Amino acid sequence: MFFDRLFKKKDVIRSIPDLSLLDHAELEKWVVHMLEKESMVFDFDLDGLMNDLGDTIGMLALKIDEMDEIKIETGGRKNKIIEFNKNNMAKQVRAFLDNTVLPADYTYEKLLDFYQKSEQSLRVSLENSLKSYQYVRALIPGSREVIDLIKQINMLLDRMHNQLEEKKKVIDELTTMQEIIRELDENDRESAREEELLCTLDEKINRANSKINTIDEEIQEIKGTREWKEYNSLSELKEELLSARERINSQLNNQVSPLVKVLKRLEKQCKSGRHHLADNHKETLKQLLTTPHAVNDPDLFFKYLSELLTRDNLGVSPQKMEKITSHLKYLILSHMFEEQQTAHRKTSLELSKLIEKINKSKVRKKVEELERLQSDEKIALSTLQTEKENHKQRIEQLSSKKKYLEEKRGENIAKLQKNML
């Protein structure tokens, strides 16, 4: 048997093996066994001490009954004081006796509980009895025996306390070892769970990488087809048309730029009520400042503005006014603005038809769907990798904790080996 092998002599309480040679499971069994044994078996004459304690308590009960039977002559203040203090001694001792019940089982926990309750009750009883003893000792000789018996009980309880304190050191060390073992076991269980989770995450990460690679291969295969090349050509043409329309927009803005100052002044004066424009001119004014390509019949507005400036310079200096009227004349005569608008509309129409054609491309939709799936997989993969790093960090923490607990276990083994010899 395990414990037969550990103990050569079962009857020798502190005959212990070399704890450093025990594996974790053996050490755990040994600690549980020793805690049970240390709680039940004592290396001093506990039965003798408890018998002495029981006998002394019995003698105290007898003596207090005898003292209680002594009658004090009535009358006189002195006799009343003696009678009061005799009764008080009996009351204090009986309170102690009522609170003191010897435990049925002599285990460490029950003895400790008995000692704590009895010691506190005895201390109060002795303190109060000594006060009354000063008044009764002359007339009641037996009172001295009561005090001596209380002190004797106190000495016996002190002996018990000293033995229990020695026992407590060993039990505390064994309990500490049991807690270290429990923490190590829990640490190992959590480490095993973390390792298992890490394996599961590795499998998921491998599957996610495989899926991403498979999707990428499918995308590359599609991009090698004639349909994709046609789609690419359309996309390139789309970029060219976008660039062309942007250039036309820039040219239109350049045509409006010399007029911006006077246009903004006209807009401001219209808002203040100084000028009143027809609805079509109001809309043209607004579009020239925001979306020149959308202006309807710009030539009509340019002629109106040219005629207006002959009557009202709108606060513009003569030098600048000359440049503005010259530019207006150029716009009216050259029809350049309208030509650029026409080019813009033509380019926009071509672009619209091209985009409609591109949007109907099945190959584009297929690649976009695959890229979306691939993006989702990459996000999931990133989450898995983050989760994996968190679990790896936790495993490192648990490894460090195990090392710390094993060092504590070694220190505790050394203490136990020394203190239990």
**Predicted local distance difference test score (pLDDT) of residue 3:** 40
106 and 244 co-located in one domain: no
Task: Say whether both 231 and 126 belong to one domain.
Answer: no
Token readout for 73 is 């002559």
Residue 79 covered by a domain: yes
Could you tell me if 55 and 154 lie in one domain?
Answer: yes
Q: Is there a domain that residue 87 lies in?
A: yes
Q: Return d(Cα 279, Cα 216) in angstroms, integer.
A: 58
User: Do 272 and 345 share a structural domain?
Assistant: yes
Asked whether residue 45 falls in the same domain as residue 164, the answer is yes
Q: Are residues 175 and 265 in the same domain?
A: no
- Residue 386 tokens read as 């983050």
pLDDT tens, position by position, for the chain (421 residues)? 334 433 333 344 456 788 888 888 888 888 888 878 877 777 667 778 888 888 888 898 888 888 877 777 656 788 788 888 888 888 888 888 888 888 877 787 888 888 888 888 888 888 888 887 787 777 777 888 888 888 898 898 888 888 888 778 888 888 888 999 999 999 999 999 999 999 999 999 999 999 999 999 999 999 999 999 999 999 999 999 999 999 999 999 999 999 888 888 888 888 888 888 888 988 988 999 999 999 988 999 889 888 888 887 777 777 788 888 889 899 899 999 999 999 999 999 999 999 999 888 899 999 999 999 999 999 999 999 999 999 999 999 999 999 999 999 988 888 888 777 6
Look up residue 274 and give its two tokens.
């100084």
Same domain, 149 and 31: yes
Query: CA–CA separation, 297 vs 230, rounded Å?
Result: 39
Structure tokens given for 293: 């390509």
pLDDT at 195: 96
Distance of CA 348 to the CA centre of its chain: 57
121 and 236 within one domain:
no
For residue 96, the enclosing domain spans: 17-188
Position 205 in a domain:
no
Kindly state whether residues 159 and 276 are assigned to the same domain: no
Alpha-carbon span 126 to 97, nearest angstrom: 12
Residue 44's identity, in one-letter code, is F
Helices then strands, counting H and E runs in the chain, come out as 13, 0
Look at the alpha carbons of 9, 11, 14, 17 in this order and tell me if their dihedral is positive or negative: positive
Q: Decide: residue 93, CB within 10 A, 0-12 exposed, 13-18 middle, 19+ buried.
A: buried
Residue carrying structure tokens 């250039």: 247
Domain-terminating residue out of 166, 188, 210:
188
Do 160 and 257 share a structural domain?
no
Specify whether 64 is located in the same domain as 161: yes
Total number of domains constituting the chain? 2
Is 78 in the same domain as 178?
yes
CB atoms within 10 A of CB 14: 12
